[in-house]
Amino acid sequence: KQEVTQIPAALSVPEGENLVLNCSFTDSAIYNLQWFRQDPGKGLTSLLLIQSSQREQTSGRLNASLDKSSGRSTLYIAASQPGDSATYLCAVPWRETSGSRLTFGEGTQLTVNP
Amino acid sequence: NAGVTQTPKFQVLKTGQSMTLQCAQDMNHEYMSWYRQDPGMGLRLIHYSVGAGITDQGEVPNGYNVSRSTTEDFPLRLLSAAPSQTSVYFCASSRGSSNQPQHFGDGTRLSIL
C-alpha cells in the first residue's frame, strides 16, 4: 500500500526566506505527483502537477521536483510572503492509475511571519 | 466559473440519522471523488466515479453510498450516521485523460452527536 510522508509537519519562517518542503512516497510506480495548498476552512487548490517523465515543474515562485527512483519530491518556495501561509499537501495516484484516486500526505503547515 | 460546489457547508446530525452531501461540478469532468479529512489521518478516499453510471469504492467506503446519474452531480449518502463519521468531507473532480489536476470543493463540515 502506498504511503506518503511529509516532513516537517510544521514550519515557521520569516518573510523573504527561501524554503523547501519535502514529500516521500513508498511505491515509485506513479504517473504523477501533485502539490496542493489548503487555506484554513477551505478546500484544496492544485499548485503543481509533475508527470513521471518530468524532473521538475515551475509556477511563479514555486518549483517542484520529482525523483521517482528515490521516492521523493520537494516543493521550493522562493522569497516567501505572509500570503504563502497555508498547509501544503502532496498526493500521488493509486498504483498504475493516472489521477482519479489519490493518496495524500498529512501536509506541512507553513507560517510566514512579517 | 463555479468549479466544484458542495452543499451544505456545515451540518450537525444525531446518531442514526441519514443525510446526503451534495456535490456538483460545471467543468464537464469525467472523474469525481469523495474524500474525508481527519486530524492525524490526512485525506482518505471514500468513493469515486470515472463517469456517469460508474462508481467504485475507495479506501474507507463503509457507511457511505454514492451514485452518478449525471456527469455534473455526485452525491454522497450517509445511511445511518455514526460519531466516527464526524469529519470534513471534500468532493473533487478532474478530466478523464491522464495527468490532469484535481479540483476540490470547499468541503462540508459534518458533526455526528
Instruction: Confirm if B102 and B25 have CB atoms less than 8 A apart.
Output: no
**Distance separating alpha carbons of residues A93 and A18, to the nearest angstrom:** 28
A104, with CB counted inside 10 A (0-12, 13-18, 19+), is: buried
**pLDDT (0 to 100) of residue B73:** 97
**Distance separating alpha carbons of residues B82 and B112, to the nearest angstrom:** 6
Using the beta-carbon criterion (under 8 Å), do B33 and A100 form an inter-chain contact?
yes
Using the beta-carbon criterion (under 8 Å), do A98 and B98 form an inter-chain contact?
yes
Q: How far does the CA of residue B19 sit from the closest CA of chain A (Å)?
A: 21
Q: Strand pairing of A10-14 and B54-57?
A: unpaired
The C-alpha cell of B15 is what? 446518531
Q: Is A109 on the interface with B (CB under 8 A)?
A: no
Going by pLDDT thresholds of 50, 70 and 90, the confidence category of residue A99 is low
**pLDDT (0 to 100) of residue B1:** 65
pLDDT digits (tens, 9 = 90+) for A34-93: 999 999 989 999 999 999 899 999 999 999 999 999 999 999 999 999 999 999 999 998
**pLDDT (0 to 100) of residue A79:** 97
Q: Is A51 on the interface with B (CB under 8 A)?
A: yes
Which segments within chain A are labelled E, that is strand? 4-7, 10-14, 19-25, 32-38, 44-51, 56-59, 62-67, 72-77, 86-93, 102-104, 108-113
Residues in chain A closer than 8 A to B98 (CB atoms): 31, 98-99
Residue of B nearest to A33 (CA): B99
- Provide the phi-psi class of B51: left if phi over 0, else alpha when psi is between -120 and 50, else beta: left
In order along its 113 residues, chain B shows pLDDT tens digits of 679 999 999 999 999 999 999 999 999 999 999 999 998 888 999 999 999 999 999 999 999 999 999 999 999 999 999 999 999 999 999 987 767 889 999 999 999 99
**pLDDT (0 to 100) of residue A30:** 87
